[in-house]
Amino acid sequence: RVTAQALSRRLRLDAGVSRSRFDNPEDPTLAQGFDLVGVEEETSGARYLEASVDALRDLRLSDTRRVRLTVGYRHERVDPLYRSLGAYTQADRLQDQVDVSADV
């Protein structure tokens, strides 16, 4: 995980990458004399990125009103069959999102 901020916290970034590996061991009691197809080791991954920038910060509209405009971007990719013990994730997901918010 990487977090960063710049320009007096006007630009913010949060990103992370994770890998998951699954190795199904052989079970001699499962075969019972039949030929079985071997299970291969499988590696899956997940990543995310959240970035936001204050396009306008403390822009004065009047003596008592100020405006802030924030633009954000979020990317998330989780491979099929990805699992993690540390956090809940929904497998087989691809999401890109843009948002704009204003405070007056």
Give the DSSP letter string of 35-99: --PPPPPEEEEEEEEEEEEEEEEEEESSSS-EEEEEEEEEEEEE-TT---SSS---SSEEEEEEE
Q: How far apart are CA 90 and CA 66, in angstroms?
A: 40
Amino acid at 20: S
pTM of the predicted model as reported, rounded to 2 decimal places: 0.74
Dump pLDDT digits (tens) for 11-48.
Answer: 999 999 999 888 877 777 777 777 777 778 888 999 99
